[in-house]
Chains A and B, each alone.
Chain A
Amino acid sequence: MHRPLILRFALALTFAGFVLPPPLEAQGAGDATGEPAAGEDAPDEGGSEPASEGEAETAPVPPSVLELVEAPWPAEVEPGGEPVAVLLEIVIGIDGQVGEAQVLGGPEAFHAAALAAVRASRFAAARVNGEPVEARIRFEYVFRPPPPPEPPPPPATGVLEGRVLAPEADDAILGARVLVASATDPALEREATVGEDGTFTFEDLPPGEYLVTIDALGYAGAEATETVVPGEATSVVYRLRPDAGIEDEGGLSARARVDPPPREVTRRRIRQEELTQIPGTRGDALRAIEILPGVGRPPFGTGQIIIRGSAPNDSEVFIEGIPVPLLYHFGGLTSVYNSRLLTQIDFIPGNFSSRYGRRIGGIIEVETRDPASDGFHGVAEFGVIDTSVLAEFPIGENASMALGFRRSLIDLVFSSIVPDSIGVTQVPVYYDWQTVLSWRPTSKDRIRFQHYGASDAFELFLDDGLGSDPAVSGNLGLTTRFGTFQMGWDRQISDDAELDVDAAYGPQAIDFGLGNALNFELFVNQFYLRSEVRQRVTDWYKLTYGADLLLGPFRVDFTGPPQQQQEGAGEFNPLASADIERATLESLAGRPGVYIENELRPSDDVQLIAGVRFDYDNRTGDYAIDPRLVANWDVAEGLRLKAGAGLYSQPPEFNESVPDGGNPDLDMIHSVHVGGGFEYEILDGFRIGVDGFYKYLWDRVVSTEGGVDPIFTNEGIGRIYGAEISGKLEQGPGRPFFAYLSYTISRSERRDRPGEPWRLFDFDQTHIFTLSGVYNLPKGWSMGATMRVVSGNPTTPVIGGIYDSLNNVYQPVNGRINSIRNPNFHRLDFRIEKKWVFESWRLALFLDIQNIYNRQNQEGLGFNFDYTERTPINGLPIIPALGIRGEI
């Protein structure tokens, strides 16, 4: 490997009594092998060399090199930049062979190699009077360092790897044959057979599109087109359906490519394969976000989204770019969208893109999939909490459709679990539905129609005079309904440009009432439009721009106590002590927004995203211009540094800015997000990340003291800071399990009025620790658990009660707001599932147990009539949910 090139060698002749000849540098200087330099004659093999013509017979002729043997560069010596010389003393016999040899100088590591090389070399003997004589000379053997290795050529190929699995069970289909054929080179075909773990790998594939064909005995074949990118690994998962005698050209339910660089500082993604397996969620994908760093724990499992210490209303959930009015049904046990129609959920806890506006908290983006186009498929699930059905089928060549419906079953048992003193007028019932029609009229267009919605309703009858508040009597009811018709059009305008247009329209209604004292009815016909163009201008510059519009005539009928700030309010007054007000408001909410985002890549490793967003709110007449900046730097293989900063704005809630009971002169709420951190792939499939964040809020809407005019002001401020650690172990070849680890430490504080002290936010949770994992066992079994440990929510001590003589009720006297905490929360959820695969259908039986050791987690305090006694109010007890699911 080491090529000992001699730059120069010199013979320092020391014939006894002879004069020193000139160095023989020229003899070997041009040739590493010791061949004579050009223009020189090779001496005779016999080792003698005739004297030159005209040369005096008596003139001594020094020995010369006939063949110099290369000595290897010693392996134990790191090659440096300079040559290394070893000075030898050698005796060259009359036959030109080296006799004695010894080292006079030079690095010891080179001695042996130099001696061996010089002994194996051949010389022409020295001559005196034309006769060969033995000569003792000094010989400098020079080692030249080997040249640095040639840099490997840039990868011109990519990798296609993946797994072939049975549907749902994650069992490998042993012996499945995978064939890849280049779409451009008919001669390029490869084939592989998957191993016991279901994996296959095609390395060194030239870039381009490939047709992938999968065949397996007993399963319908499947085809897919995949793109191989130089230097990247495209990872895919194919799930084959059992062969039912139907030509099956699809069969894959999820596909994952190497992630493109994110547009946000922190974007966390849960993929479809894992979404429905998280223990404690009963397979509900949208509840899986609870395991991610930065996600707080809502009390009583109410399903509120608490992201990085922000109020629930400060964050937004989008389905295909459209805000969802309601994410969860009653109690937060179930989301309103069928999880089997989702592909992935992206969670962006802060520093989100300019694409998103009108929110100062975080963003959750839900992506849905196209219905199956390879024949009829159906799923029916029956559980203790609810039951659902889903059907998918193709319509013609280029379209497919899905229909889903779910209904709760709580009503079957609810009446038996409420106390006799509470009559049940309307048992809690919820249902939701989804209709999805996907159509690809051309190769460049995809049009998606969706109609989805949900309805929740319950009503209880509270006997007159129940409890200590005389106003709490009559019917207690809550009804929420919404239906959204949504259309999305994606078009490939050119090779470098894409257009997305999404529009949604639908009514939303909330009706909440408690006897005659409290009633809130909201009806909105909401229209939402979003249009976005993404254009690759050059290799290093990508431009995204778009606009969105939220438009909705709404009507509010309100009966109840005067409005007040809901967060940080302490213990509320009883209704009996309030002056009941009545208000009706009809108005139009219009909130247009435009945004532009520039993605720059000054080098392959660096990505800069600079965006700005403009929002206007017609209710307050206020507007906001919010610049945002994100930078990502791939420092090394698997290591990315990231940072971002930006402004975010949010209009006040409708009820806060109404003229009757609110303050129409409010301004938008503002926030600055600063974040940074790194992600590092420690091992293949095991990533960790650390993020730090800081948020400052101003112009928060707060109540005036006692709710005096103008009732609400923008005097509130807030600050939130913390750090998140995340670990994710992905399921992969030879690893039939996945796990999520997240830990968040943070502090979220508010100050409501100038001069007041800072206080904790209602849902400030100092420590949030979650560990969740699922192991896929052989024979269709899977088992997993989720452990969560969270600091207790702050709460306000009630230091006494004051008797309201006019209304015969005690009012609480609050201590310092949120100055004490509930005890720490902890809970273990467990899930086990068994799947069977039959010839034409599949069956699964699962048990999902929430709070398996029935921890009595305190969520608040209850008080006696005059606040002299209190008792802890505990959250949800153990909830075992047994379910069965069948699929065709």
Chain B
Amino acid sequence: MRRTILRLAVPLALLAGCGDTLDPVSLVTRPRVLGFELSVEGDAERTTPRTGETLNLRLPFAFPEEAQGIDFVGVACLGVDVGFGVPFCASEDSVIAPLVSRSVAPAFPEVSFTVPADFPEDAELLVIAAACVGGVVDPELFASALDISSPPAGGLVVCADDVGTGELLQSTIPVQRIPDDANLNPLPLVEVRLDGRVLPPDPGGVPGTACTDVPELPTFFSDSGDVDLVVESAPETFEDYFVLDADDQPLPVVEALQHALLITAGELEANFIFTEREDVREDTIYTLPLIEERPVAAEGSLERLWFSIRDERGGLRIESRAYCLLPGV
């Protein structure tokens, strides 16, 4: 236990300012993966495939500027139920399907595979993958990434020739064992307000480009300080489900949603917002960008906010909003 407490000393020391400031998690300065969106073939909102069903995976990204092509290589396999560390496939024979999506044009990777009919009752369904934005996944990578007992000394290089922005990814896919154990993706957000003004659905466009000609975008000014950012979830999005308690008895619980926030400019007080059925509206503080940090022309700058909404059971909905940033007065 003492060692556990000691382990926390490092992150706490970082929080307390004992180290240099690092790249903030919420600010999108390079392509950022948003997570696997899951949908069962024929039942698009369901994330939990049954054996024999086909699962579609889509991997959206957030871009700070123009979108780029993404090279995606991965496998679906029977994973080992690890207690800690990076999960890994049980063996080479445990691979269910290779997952490949290669696109030079800007498009999010989409792959699919079928859960074997004889998938073991208590096994883990695991996806391990690599994605390279603006480049090609290094073909040598995958073997070493799976072999965690002898990691490469020089670090993991995802993109071939180190060209592009690489991401290693993994996800355990909950498999539906019983009929009423299905999980659905979260519903769209009811509303997002910034400083009391509703942010409409994202009209698209490239962040940082002129926006005064997009009339539906609300405008904000640089150097305007802190404003409230409020998100509201639909009450019906919170599903009921069961977990097993310490005595292996089913315990009814209600979903809580995690909203991970990414922004192209400015600063967030919290990187995550959590909503519950009883408390569907939550807020945090958004600090509008400073002019010296985000130079803005008179035509304005389109700024985007991404909301990755998770139910932590495999469900994910990505939503984005945008506003037009004008130079401060």
A19 at the binding interface (Cβ < 8 Å): no
Residues of chain B from 53 to 94 with CB closer than 8 A to chain A in the complex: 80-88
Question: In the assembly, what is the distance between CA of A476 and CA of B36, in Å?
Answer: 31
Chain B residue nearest to A418 in the complex (CB): B16
Q: Chain B CB within 10 Å — which of A462, A655, A703, A815 has the most?
A: A815
Residues of chain B from 231 to 274 with CB closer than 8 A to chain A in the complex: 245-246, 258, 260, 269-274
> Number of B interface residues, CB 8 Å?
69
Chain B residue nearest to A807 in the complex (CB): B312
A874 at the binding interface (Cβ < 8 Å): yes
Mask, A294-326, CB within 8 Å of B = 1, is 000001101010000000110000000000000
Question: In the assembly, what is the distance between CA of A584 and CA of B247, in Å?
Answer: 10
Which of the segments B101-109, B163-171, B203-211, B290-298 contacts the partner chain?
B163-171
A512 at the binding interface (Cβ < 8 Å): yes
Residues of chain A from 568 to 615 with CB closer than 8 A to chain B in the complex: 572-573, 578-579, 582-584
- Given known pairs A422-B15, A873-B14, the reply for A470 and B258 (CB within 8 Å) is yes
- Given known pairs A512-B5, A706-B80, A706-B83, the reply for A805 and B156 (CB within 8 Å) is no
Question: In the assembly, what is the distance between CA of A333 and CA of B308, in Å?
Answer: 44
A806 at the binding interface (Cβ < 8 Å): yes
Question: In the assembly, what is the distance between CA of A804 and CA of B6, in Å?
Answer: 25
A360 at the binding interface (Cβ < 8 Å): no
Mask, A501-543, CB within 8 Å of B = 1, is 0000000001010100000101000000000000000000000
Q: Are B16 and A422 in contact (CB under 8 A)?
A: yes
A823: chain B residues within 8 A (beta carbon): none
Q: Are A573 and B260 in contact (CB under 8 A)?
A: no
A872: chain B residues within 8 A (beta carbon): 19-20
A562: chain B residues within 8 A (beta carbon): 83-84
Q: Are A467 and B25 in contact (CB under 8 A)?
A: yes
Q: Are B14 and A862 in contact (CB under 8 A)?
A: yes
A618 at the binding interface (Cβ < 8 Å): no
Question: In the assembly, what is the distance between CA of A756 and CA of B150, in Å?
Answer: 10
B190: chain A residues within 8 A (beta carbon): none
- Given known pairs A304-B6, A862-B19, the reply for A465 and B270 (CB within 8 Å) is yes
Chain B residue nearest to A805 in the complex (CB): B171
Residues of chain B from 139 to 159 with CB closer than 8 A to chain A in the complex: 145, 148-149, 151-156, 158
B127 to chain A, nearest CB (A): 8
Q: Are A470 and B83 in contact (CB under 8 A)?
A: no
Q: Are B6 and A300 in contact (CB under 8 A)?
A: yes
B20: chain A residues within 8 A (beta carbon): 871-872
Chain B residue nearest to A860 in the complex (CB): B10
A866: chain B residues within 8 A (beta carbon): 167
B117 at the binding interface (Cβ < 8 Å): no
Chain A residue nearest to B156 in the complex (CB): A800
Q: Are A573 and B85 in contact (CB under 8 A)?
A: yes
Q: Are A800 and B274 in contact (CB under 8 A)?
A: no
A572: chain B residues within 8 A (beta carbon): 7, 84
Mask, B1-23, CB within 8 Å of A = 1, is 11111111111111111111111
B10: chain A residues within 8 A (beta carbon): 859-862, 873
- Given known pairs A564-B84, A706-B83, the reply for A804 and B171 (CB within 8 Å) is yes
Q: Are B272 and A464 in contact (CB under 8 A)?
A: yes
A184 at the binding interface (Cβ < 8 Å): no
Residues of chain A from 436 to 476 with CB closer than 8 A to chain B in the complex: 462-468, 470, 472-473, 476
A814 at the binding interface (Cβ < 8 Å): yes
Chain A residue nearest to B23 in the complex (CB): A864
Q: Are A512 and B16 in contact (CB under 8 A)?
A: no
**Cβ-neighbour of B88 out of A304, A706, A814 (below 8 A):** A706
B88: chain A residues within 8 A (beta carbon): 706
Question: In the assembly, what is the distance between CA of A472 and CA of B1, in Å?
Answer: 18
Chain A residue nearest to B158 in the complex (CB): A800
B9: chain A residues within 8 A (beta carbon): 299-300, 302, 859-860
B84: chain A residues within 8 A (beta carbon): 561-562, 564, 572-573, 578, 703, 706-707
B316: chain A residues within 8 A (beta carbon): 805
- Given known pairs A520-B4, A874-B19, the reply for A708 and B168 (CB within 8 Å) is no
B residues at A contact (CB < 8 Å): 1-23, 25, 33, 35-36, 80-88, 127, 145, 148-149, 151-156, 158, 167-172, 245-246, 258, 260, 269-274, 284, 308, 310, 312, 314, 316
A residues at B contact (CB < 8 Å): 299-300, 302, 304, 312-313, 417-419, 421-422, 462-468, 470, 472-473, 476, 478, 510, 512, 514, 520, 522, 561-564, 566-567, 572-573, 578-579, 582-584, 655, 703, 705-708, 711, 756, 797, 799-808, 811, 813-816, 819, 859-866, 868-874
Can you give 29 contacting A-B residue pairs, CB < 8 Å? A300-B6, A300-B13, A465-B271, A466-B271, A473-B274, A476-B8, A512-B5, A520-B1, A566-B3, A566-B7, A567-B3, A582-B245, A706-B87, A799-B151, A799-B153, A800-B158, A802-B168, A802-B170, A803-B169, A804-B171, A808-B35, A859-B9, A862-B11, A869-B22, A869-B23, A870-B22, A871-B19, A873-B18, A873-B19
Can you name 9 extra interface pairs (CB under 8 A) apart from A300-B9, A582-B246, A862-B22? Answer: A566-B3, A566-B4, A705-B149, A707-B85, A800-B158, A860-B13, A862-B19, A869-B22, A871-B14
